[in-house]
Amino acid sequence: MNALWNRDDRAGCRITQQWTERGHMSYTCITIDPARMGGVPCLRGLRIPVAAVVEMVAEGMSDAEILDAYRDLERDDIREAPRYAAVEI
């Protein structure tokens, strides 16, 4: 798997685009920045790890409950976190 880096001017952070055996996967909400959170995949440059949102989804929390817990998130973030995790694990 090869990672390509692009600049996201809106958030000012790095967005990963990954090539996998199944084709090109593009993540618009997932950021990986070695200078932030030790390079842990986060959502839109926020200090909210993808793993935290995936865990909340796995526990059966609704979108509304997750958005209430993390007010900076958007529904698209919640949708993209499990998709990213499914490819990366």
Contact 29, 8 (CB under 8 A): no
Q: What is the pLDDT along the chain (89 residues), one digit of tens a residue?
A: 444 444 443 444 444 444 445 555 678 889 988 989 999 999 999 999 999 999 999 999 999 999 999 999 999 999 999 999 998 87
Contacts of 8 (CB under 8 A, 6+ apart): 14, 15, 31, 45
- The CATH code belonging to domain 2-88 is 1.10.10.10
Tell me which residue of 26, 70, 25, 17 sits closest to 46, measured CA to CA. Answer: 70
pTM score of the predicted model: 0.72
